[in-house]
Structure 1
Amino acid sequence: MTGQVKIHPGKIIVYSLLIIFAIIFFSPFVWMLSTSFKASTKVFLNPPQWIPDPFQPENYIEVFQRMPFLKYLKNTLIVTVIPVLGQLVSAPMVAYSITKIPWKGGKYIFPIIIGTMMIPWQVTQIPLFVTWSKLKLVNTFVPLTLPAFFGAPYYIYLMRQFIKGLPDSIIEAARIDGASEIRILYQIVYPMCKTVLTTVTLLVFIGCWNDLNGPLIYLQDGSKYTLSIGLQNFLTTTKQEWELLMAAATLFTMPLIILFFVAQKQFISGIATTGLK
């Protein structure tokens, strides 16, 4: 006689709620994707038409004809990939120095780093623009990429929380063997920080990809515009052509969705291991 499977009412309720909320949060994306393939006369049908009929992929061709999407994509990758590399270099270095290197300044510097997180960006926006303007670097990608190589407080905090939990015995053994701190960082600590490095990569990428304020302030030449500015301009030019706007928004959003699903396991693991809830 086979054993009976026990059904826990609590789990049924939890999974049911998860399914309901998943449908609620995923519905806007499905509607955006569906609308991007519709004809203009089918967008506001009542009841709504979830499956496009007729199916109209020509909307995407129209988007490419009306905006220099590939140029915006190249600019967006520049102001996104370079900051990712910058944070992956600087944040672990700062976190390691204030966590695993025994020196008196570490315990004083970390509270200062955390304290800067309480300063709103609106306070530093004008002084930073004046500084970059006097350096004649406005209308270049430098203001959007160079600061990442000096670390950001939040990513330093994430790295610090993870590195703090690494065993000191491994690092001490490397020091006894004569390894320098740089070698310990990149050959020992880095491989053990794969999950949190993936988390930092994903967060920085998404933040820079979606950033509208920075490019809008520092980029004045249309040939240097990013996708966020291009999408904003496209919104004003398409007027009531919602099917084209949804097609452009889908092209803008799809890389982030693909990236998140590819790195989802590492991202969740990295958030969990840093002690964040």
Structure 2
Amino acid sequence: MNYKTTKILWKTFVWIVLIIGTIITLVPLFWMLSTALKSNAEVMQFDMVWWPEDPKWSNFVEAFTTLPFGEWTMNTIFITVFTIIGTLLSCTVVAYGFARFNVRGNKTLFIILLSTMMLPSTVTMIPQFVIFRELDWINTFYPLIVPSFFGNATFIFLLRQFFMTIPTELEDAAKMDGLGTMGILGRIILPMTLPALTTVAIFQFNGAWNDFMGPLIYLSDPDDFTLALGINFFKGENNQVQWNYLMSASVISMLPSLLIFFFGQKYFIQGINLSSGIKG
């Protein structure tokens, strides 16, 4: 078998694997959309119905008017926006410090920071709850927003790796022009780190927008619920789930994540490549 034939067979194999993987990924999404358009009878029908005979697009309207999803959406947007702001501010400053300030203990602190990535969230869940309870922050948005202003080990590591790829000569030239540390960071570094910052923003958006555990622990007033928590209301008494409304609400709540990733995928991929040392 010659090289050309081997290359064609390999490409064919790769394409087949990718197509199969894509189908496996899209089938649950298709099933969610089809369920969202079904009537109650079709949802409960024993025989599998892949697509309803009469799609009920009104399910989307009814799902969002039956419950106060407008208010829950605004709560989710509020929490998400401020967590993104907090994450970008804190992680950028800390990552820049680790990347550029060669002071005693820098590497030790960075290793300690990385070690926190190995701690599962369940380990810190109870101590955090006790702290926020003592601060009288339970049933407020503070426990969901304030921690983002204290950094995230994963994002700090990602941004630090990106900063390490920027030549220090640029900063030396800026210092000669009279810029201070914050001026260099704001005028020189940040404009060059847009891909990495976009990557962090996308990750943080998905984490905050789809967060269920946080609101479940700290929020008890239905007026303060987020979308992820409010969707659970479609689970009625005796576990009687309104699947068509549940899927309708899930489809709509999923759209912002898809749209943000779709429009930001160029910066997202570029940021991941540069932060991991891959260029080209």
TM-score by length of 1: 0.92
**Map of 1:1-277 to 2, 5 A cutoff?**
8-43=8-43, 48-236=48-236, 239-275=240-276
Matches of 2:266 and 2:143, distance apart in 1: 32
Q: Distance in 1 between matches of 2:47 and 2:126?
A: 49
CA separation in 2, counterparts of 1:239 and 1:262? 38
Alpha-carbon distance between aligned partners in 2 of 1:56 and 1:180, rounded to the nearest angstrom = 61
CA deviation map 1:60-116 (0-9, x unaligned): 122123211111101111121111111111111101111113322322221111111
Q: Distance in 2 between matches of 1:232 and 1:97?
A: 42
Q: Match for 1:246: what amino acid?
A: M
Q: Structure 1: which amino acid aligns with 2:260?
A: L
Q: Any idea what SS the aligned residue of 2:159 has?
A: helix
Shift of 1:276: 7.8
Deviation, 1:221, is 1.2
CA distance in 1, matches of 2:135, 2:47: 57
> Alpha carbons of 1:17 and 1:46: their partners in 2 closer, same or farther (altered >3 Å)?
farther
RMSD: 2.2
CA distance in 2, matches of 1:83, 1:241: 32
Q: d(CA) in 2 for partners of 1:233 and 1:154?
A: 33
d(CA) in 1 for partners of 2:245 and 2:179? 57
| Conserved 8 A contact 2:33-2:251 | yes
Maintained 8 Å contact 1:138/1:218: yes
- What is the SS of the residue equivalent to 2:118? coil
Q: Which runs of 5+ in 1 are unaligned?
A: 1-5
Between 198-207 and 28-37, the greater mean CA deviation after superposition: 28-37
Provide the rounded CA distance (Å) in 2 between the counterparts of 1:165 and 1:224: 43
Look up the equivalent residue of 2:267 and give its one-letter code: Q
Alignment deviations for residues 189-237 of structure 1 (CA, whole Å, 9 cap, x no partner): 1111111111100111101111111111111211101111101222346
Q: For 1:114-153, what per-residue CA distance to the aligned partner results, in whole angstroms no more than 9, with x for missing partners? A: 1111222222222211111111111111111011111110
Q: 1:163-214: CA deviations, max 9, x gaps?
A: 1111111111111221111111111111111111111001111011111111
Query: Alpha-carbon deviation of 1:252?
Result: 1.7
Q: Work out the CA distance in 2 between the residues paired with 1:173 and 1:105.
A: 27
2-structure distance, mates of 1:112, 1:7: 46
Give the counterpart letter for 1:96 in structure 2: Y
SS for the counterpart of 1:117 is helix
Distance 1:119 1:37 in 2: 41
8 A Cα contact 1:99 1:106, kept in partner: no
**What TM-score, normalized by structure 2, do the two folds share?**
0.91
Shift of 1:47: 6.3
Residues 236 and 252 (structure 1), Cα distance of their counterparts in 2 relative to 1, 3 Å cut: farther
- How many positions carry a matched residue from both structures? 274
Alpha-carbon separation, structure 2, partners of 1:139 and 1:86: 20
Return closer, same or farther for 1:47/1:123 CA change in 2, 3 Å cut-off: closer
Cα distance in 1 for residues equivalent to 2:70 and 2:135: 30
Residue pair 1:67, 1:234 contacting (<8 A) in 2 also: no
User: Residue type matched to 1:232 in 2?
Assistant: N
- Name the amino acid aligned to 2:98: I
